[in-house]
Amino acid sequence: MIGDWYDYCYIIMNIMTDFPGITGTVGGATMVTGTIFNIQKYSIHDGPGIRTTVFLKGCPLNCWWCHNPESQERQLQLVLWRDRCLGCGDCKRACPNNAVALQDGIPHIDKGRCLSCGVCAGACPTGAMEVVGKTVTTEYVIKEIEKDLIFYDQSGGGVTFSGGEPLMQPEFLEQLIRDCKSRDIHTAVDTSGYASWDVLSGMCGSIDLILYDIKHMDDQMHIKTTGVSNRVILDNLEKLSKVHNNIVIRVPLVPGINDDHENIVNMARFISSINVREVNILPYHNTGMDKYGRLGKEYRLPHTKEPAAQSLDSIKETLMSAGLYVKIGG
């Protein structure tokens, strides 16, 4: 009888894993599946205290400076570590969809054929092929989170849900937040704000801290460098500030993109007009540049340098003059 029960649970779990976002109940517990690409332990940059940051896959934006390009697509993806590749062709022979071709001894993936099934990665003797992303249940994530409870208690930390854009998986995110709250775990959500107001307003009351990105105040520049308009983002922030009292604005500061004086002044004016008083400036870095090559993507800012200390100080002063508390870093 017990064996039958575990067989039943196994079948249900596999069905849920095949269809991300599906909700089911096993043993009285509600579980929803979603797609993540990392769970980072001992983070100190995504909210107060020592935190666990859960990175959800999928993002509606395509920011030129994104340092997690593997987060942008919702589906699982194959990456190639060329320095590990032997050119043996095992991946090509293993692929059930004929999606792998060898050119000069280097595997090339036909994305039209590739289903990211991972068979080629499993056949690779050196780990040069890797599947990025994992479909998991909320129960799986919560078990990982609970391993660090002692650190949250001692440091005043908790869990941050990031991405990608976590609001792209609302059922998954909402259940995770609900499960954390039932365990008295502090929750934070790092969001671009590019989502329907119904989704954001529906769960914001359960979120302890909202880390809200502002990329650019000029709509045309926002469209050019992220692929989407900023109108929904700014409208949602204005509405959110009226119903949530713990919002921190995050500004990824990218030289030549959004660090000009006019944009910073407009940003200071807008933020000071709503019920938000803290701004974190996140200086640009290019540490994610190598990931683009592994994903077969082009990095748009190969020659951009980190912002100078003098520039950061000037921008901080401009924002502070509008009555805002400003911090360099997250």
For residue 18, the model assigns a pLDDT of: 44
Is the confidence at residue 192, as pLDDT, over 50? yes
The percent of residues in the chain predicted with pLDDT above 90, rounded, is 81
What number is the average pLDDT over the span 187-204?
A: 97
CA distance 102 to 133: 24
pLDDT per position as a tens digit, 107-157? 988 888 988 889 999 999 999 999 999 999 999 999 999 999 999 999 999
Verdict on whether the full-model pTM lies above 0.85: yes
What number is the average pLDDT over the span 59-64?
A: 98
Confidence of residue 197 (pLDDT cuts 50, 70, 90): very high
For residue 20, the model assigns a pLDDT of: 52
Domain positions in the chain are 2-73+133-328, 77-132
Amino acid at 279: V
What number is the average pLDDT over the span 164-191?
A: 97
CATH architecture observed for domain 2-73+133-328: Alpha-Beta Barrel (3.20)
Whether the Cβ atoms of residue 52 and residue 145 lie closer than 8 Å to each other: yes
Mean pLDDT of the chain: 91
The percent of residues in the chain predicted with pLDDT above 70, rounded, is 91
CA distances from 83 to 86, 121, 244 (A): 8, 15, 48
For residue 111, the model assigns a pLDDT of: 84
Q: What CATH fold (topology level) applies to the domain 77-132?
A: Alpha-Beta Plaits (3.30.70)
pLDDT per position as a tens digit, 1-31? 333 433 333 334 444 444 456 565 544 556 7
Strands 134-137 and 29-43: antiparallel
Whether the Cβ atoms of residue 213 and residue 251 lie closer than 8 Å to each other: yes
For residue 191, the model assigns a pLDDT of: 98
For residue 6, the model assigns a pLDDT of: 33
CA distance 185 to 147: 12
Count other Cβ atoms within 10 Å, centred on residue 279. Answer: 23
Count the helices and strands in the chain (H runs, E runs). Answer: 12, 14
State residue 217 phi and psi, 5-degree precision.
-85, -25
- Helix or strand or coil: residue 73? coil
Whether the Cβ atoms of residue 76 and residue 58 lie closer than 8 Å to each other: no
Helix (H) or strand (E) holding 224: helix 219-226
CA distance 302 to 75: 26
Confidence of residue 230 (pLDDT cuts 50, 70, 90): very high
Is the confidence at residue 76, as pLDDT, over 50? yes
User: What does the angle CA 246 – CA 195 – CA 59 come to, to the nearest 5 degrees?
Assistant: 105
CA distance 210 to 325: 16
Whether the Cβ atoms of residue 135 and residue 19 lie closer than 8 Å to each other: no
When comparing pLDDT for 108 and 39, which is higher?
A: 39
**DSSP alpha helix (H) spans, the chain:** 2-18, 90-94, 119-123, 138-146, 149-155, 170-182, 197-204, 219-226, 231-240, 261-272, 289-295, 309-320
pLDDT per position as a tens digit, 253-268? 999 999 999 999 999 9
Is the confidence at residue 69, as pLDDT, over 70? yes
For residue 31, the model assigns a pLDDT of: 78
